Amino acid sequence: MKNDDKIRDESLSEINSEKPIKDDDHDIIRRVLFESTNAYELLVVKYQGPVYNLFLRMIHDRNEAEELTQIVFIKAYEALPAFSFEYRFFSWLYRIAVNQALNELKKQRRFVDIEKIKNISEEAIEKDSDKNRLLQNAIDKLKDKYKAVIVLKYFQQLSYKEVAFALNITEKKVRSRLYDARLQLKEMLEHNTDYF
């Protein structure tokens, strides 16, 4: 299991439980706040991958994803004194990242054709089947709110609860929005491609 997957699974299992949150990150946050700023690097190293990949899936530009990843970690650092220890740091960070991504998409209003992306990983493209490419292309044409829910649920593999937290909506709304997003994808793929 890759490091990012492990982080996601730990986050997933704990955010789904009703028990008080035990998060090693909380100790690091306390160190950052009360002892040494340098401890923040531990959090950056731990979560830079998932955050970067979220941006990559949403924005499709490596340079921009890298830049936005840095911005998110700096924003999170600046907001750290207001961090509530009832949340997992990862979920909280994700919420900041998702908002950043949505703002960026809104700003740029970009609907990128995946075939035209220069910065996308060659390796990733090779791994994608034709179907996946068509699907990805359709996802990029979705409205931001549908795109975000698809990326978070299927690409970032967050739980419904985590997606709800990240988007600040209810779990029921997440399920409903996911269905609507899939329905739109189906219609796009039926009409414009030979996907099915």
Partner 1 sequence: MWFRKLRLNRLIKARMTGNISAEQEAKLNKMLQESDAEEKEYLRMQELKQQLESIGPANENIDVSVRVMQKISAVNHAENQKTHNFDVFNSYFNPLPARFAFVMIIGIIIGAGLTWMVTTNTGSMNSEMLSGSLSSSAKQGISYSSHNTTIKLVPYQIENLHYLNFIVDTRNETNFEVFFNQSDFIMKKSDYVTSQGNQSLSFNSGSVVFTANGITSFQIILEKVHRSQASVTVKTTQNQNNLITRQINFD
| Residues binding partner 1 (CB under 8 A) | 2, 4-5, 8, 37-38, 40-41, 44-45, 48-50, 52-53, 56-57, 62, 65-66, 69-70, 73-74, 77-78, 121, 124, 131-132, 135, 150, 153-157, 172, 175-176, 178-179, 182-183, 185-186, 189-190, 196
The angle that helices 40-59 and 62-79 make with each other, rounded to 10 degrees, is 140
Q: Please give the C-alpha separations between residue 122 and each of 118, 119, 126, 167, in angstroms, as whole numbers.
A: 9, 8, 6, 30
What the block records as the tokens of 52 is 């970067």
Q: Which is nearer to partner 1, 165 or 178 (CB)?
A: 178
Q: Which is nearer to partner 1, 143 or 172 (CB)?
A: 172
Q: Which is nearer to partner 1, 22 or 118 (CB)?
A: 118
Q: How far is the CB of 69 from partner 1 (least distance, A)?
A: 5
Which amino acid is residue 175, in one-letter code? Answer: R
Which amino acid is residue 180, in one-letter code? Answer: D
Single out the residue of 108, 104, 186 nearest to residue 142, CA to CA.
186
Q: Which is nearer to partner 1, 87 or 155 (CB)?
A: 155
